[in-house]
Structure 1
Amino acid sequence: MKAKSMKWVKTAALFGAVLVLCYGIFYFGDYILNGSFVDWFQDNYVWTHTEPQDTSGLTMTISEINWPKFKMLILELFCLGALLSAALAAGAARFYGKKMSTRTISGAGRMIHSFMEHDIDADMVFPTEYAEIAVQMTQIKTKMERNARIMKEEEARKNDMITYLAHDLKTPLTSIIGYLSLLDEARDMPALQREKYTTIVFEKSLLLERLIQEFFDITRYNLNQIILEKETLDLSYMLVQMADEFYPILQKWKNSIDLDVGEGITVYGDTVKLARVFQNILKNAAAYSYPESVIRVKAEKDDKEVRVTIENAGKTIPKEKLPVLFDKFYRADEARQGNTGGAGLGLAIAKEIVVLHGGSITADSKNEKTTFLVSLPQI
């Protein structure tokens, strides 16, 4: 109510100021300048002429307004007044609009700050006229809270993974120290037994190296930004070469790779990064495959994309766990059995690289068959 009264007072004051200004101009021209306005008007817009009188023979001076010229003066003054009024109205509207805009922005800023800082509903902070802003801020706040929750969960998984890896480091290290101590103390140990202990130390050393590498993967993932160096590459040759490289790893459990890859399948991408994608997927397939089973790799293309499927026979992944397979630091607890589990970064890194190439990666698991599908744009 008070604000409305002040608005009327300001309007009345504006009209009063305009009237005073007009009267001041008239007073200045007619009194201060000694009637110069009247003289100017008479010289320009009044006709003066003499007419003889019928009876006396005298002449009479008659003054009358030059109406055609006076009408043009009125038109010019009207146009000038209209222009001045429009200019004043535009200036006032601009000033008022700027003032109201500043006030609106300041008010909206205070409301947004209050809404973001406190756990309250949007309709308790934003009035009805701010309904659209309320909806948008609710969406932004929900997204920020979801991202914060994801980051917190990711950090918790990362800390758990570091704890697990630190614990796992003790096992091979203890074995290495123990067997080396035996080899050092028993210099006359039979050659066959010495060879057995040396082999065990070597295997435990490899395990220790892998665990240390996982520590590096955890730190590098957050420190390094993946930058692509693209070129045209022969995907068929890459997959054949990779199958050969995995032969020693697969022989431990008598697994094998069945390749169904045509010749001349090319993509435009980063050779090193895409090789890491398929290495990570194949490592995952090798780690979770049943012994003596076959890992099937198939590549095909059409006019739009190249599709690579990697299928392994192993324990079915529960449906509810499929969406989080590509989350950073995700690894099911049972994956730790047999030292098959890594730091939970392999599939997350693979997905990030594939997405940067404009492609997609998905996983499906049913009937003890797990299939990864990588789709890349066709060049």
Structure 2
Amino acid sequence: MKSKYLQLFRMLRIIFIAIIIFYGLYYLIDQVFNGAFVNWFTDHFISLQYEPYESVDGVVQTSIYTTLNWYELKMFIFGLSITGIIIVTVVIFVISHFYANRKIKEALSNARQMMRDYMGGEKEAKEVFPKEYAEISSQMLEIKSAMQHHEQILRDEANRKNDLIVYLTHDLKTPLTSVIGYLSLLDEATDMPSEQKNKYIGIALDKSHRLEKLINELFEITRYNLQQIELEKESIDLSYMLVQMTDEFYPLLQTHGNTINLDVKEDTFLYGDPIKLARVFNNILKNAIAYSYQDTEIKIWTEKTDTELALYFRNKGRTIPPRKLNAIFEKFFRLDEARTTNTGGAGLGLAIAKEIITLHQGTITAKSENEWTTFCITLPLN
């Protein structure tokens, strides 16, 4: 309703301006240029007619009278009307143009201010934006919600990262203290029995390996923020790559008592970055071994369509709760919250895997139920 009144007011204002223009023209012609106009009008549209006649006394005289040249007058009025219409149209267009620009600038300025107030404040959208800005209000609500969600994700990642660094730096002390302690004993007791000496050396070596793992986790955290993943694609023999990888994991598999059932055809090829994809498969297989029950089988198989290839990794172990399953690909997220466990690293393996698969225009998902956990990677064939 308010917009209708505004349009009526604009129309009345345009009519009023047109009346002023026409009255000004009339006053200029009738008052200011009265004599000059009459002379000009007479010269152009009035004709003098001379007609002789004989008077009563027989004298021939001439009668003079004037006639109006209607055709010339009509053409002049027509041309004047067209010119007037053009002038009025141009004037109205110019005035409307500047008026519209001014209103647009005012509207944009108001919209910017309202956006600034809404994004920087705690008010609801309906408290900041009037009904006329309902569409902008809806869009700003979505943008603000997305920004807040993204900021919350970044805060959660930062908190997990900070907690992880605190835990790691604290955990570094324990194996380091043990290594120093046992080496000190070996240094002081030169006549220590061989059996006891070998025992202390074994403990020191085990703690050194633990210390190395913790230091590698710290390096992985700092390196993640500095690296930029770039792909160098080529044709990959997937079957050969997975066979090599399972051979490399043989010692770890033996330690856990696990076996791998590799069901991938020899002629399975895909196009991608072999080094980056090897890192993805390595991370998933390492997790599968770490979280599997002892003496269980880890199965790897593929399913192929005309356009994409799906690669599956399945292991038997504790079922991952839905809450953790949804966060499994987030940075610095660990399934084992206790730092005393040897499973899991800095919580970056699966996050990096997801980034690499996404860069390959693929997807990576996880499903866990009834003690079976399955990772599925889909990749385009070309």
TM-score (norm 1): 0.90
Q: Secondary structure, in 3 states, of the residue corresponding to 2:293?
A: coil
1:323-342 alignment, distance < 5 Å: 323-333=326-336, 336-342=339-345
Look up the equivalent residue of 1:46 and give its one-letter code: I
Kept in 2, the 8 Å contact 1:308–1:375? The answer is: yes
State the SS of the aligned residue for 2:257: coil
Deviation string for 1:53-95 (max 9, x for gaps)? 3656322233322222221111111111111111111111111
Alignment of 1:274-313 (within 5 A): 274-313=277-316
How many angstroms does 1:11 deviate by? Answer: 6.7
Residues 54 and 178 of structure 1, relative CA distance in 2, 3 Å threshold? farther
Q: Are 1:18 and 2:21 counterparts?
A: yes
**Counterpart of 2:271 in 1: which secondary structure?**
strand
What is the alpha-carbon distance in structure 1 between the residues aligned to residue 282 and residue 53 of structure 2? 124
Give the corresponding residue for 2:170: 167
Q: Does 1:123 align with 2:126?
A: yes
SS in 1 for 2:345: coil
What is the CA–CA distance in structure 2 between the aligned matches of 1:297 and 1:287, rounded to whole Å? Answer: 16
State the partner residue of 1:212.
215
Alignment of 1:339-350 (within 5 A): 339-350=342-353
Root mean square deviation, CA, Å: 2.7
Structure 1 residues 334 and 100, CA gap change in structure 2 (3 angstroms)? closer
User: Equivalent residue for 2:51?
Assistant: 51
1:58 maps to amino acid: Q
1:186 counterpart = 2:189:
yes
**2:83 & 2:99 partners in 1: Cα distance?**
24
Structure 2 Cα separation of the partners of residues 158 and 57 of structure 1 = 125
- Residue of structure 1 in register with 2:242 after alignment: 239
Q: Does 1:365 align with 2:372?
A: no
- 2:228 corresponds, among 221, 225, 228, to 225
2-structure distance, mates of 1:8, 1:69: 35
| TM-score where L is the length of structure 2 | 0.89
**Any conservation in 2 of the 1:262–1:300 contact (CA below 8 Å)?**
no
CA distance in 2, matches of 1:54, 1:378: 117
SS of equivalent residue, structure 2 residue 256: coil
CA contact (8 A) 1:288 1:340 kept: yes
Aligned-partner Cα distance in 1 for 2:124–2:196: 73
Q: Which amino acid aligns with 1:166?
A: T
The answer to whether the Cα contact below 8 Å between 1:114 and 1:125 also exists between their aligned partners in 2 is yes
Cα distance in 2 for partners of 1:244, 1:375 equals 24
Question: Which of 149, 156, 171 in structure 2 is aligned with 1:153?
Answer: 156
Cα distance between partner residues in 2 of 1:235 and 1:274: 10
Q: What does the per-residue CA deviation read over 1:162-185, in whole Å, with 9 as the maximum and x for residues that have no partner? A: 111112212221222122212222
Structure 1 CA distance, aligned partners of 2:47 and 2:347?
104
Kept in 2, the 8 Å contact 1:362–1:373? The answer is: yes
The reply on whether 1:268 has 2:271 as its aligned counterpart is yes
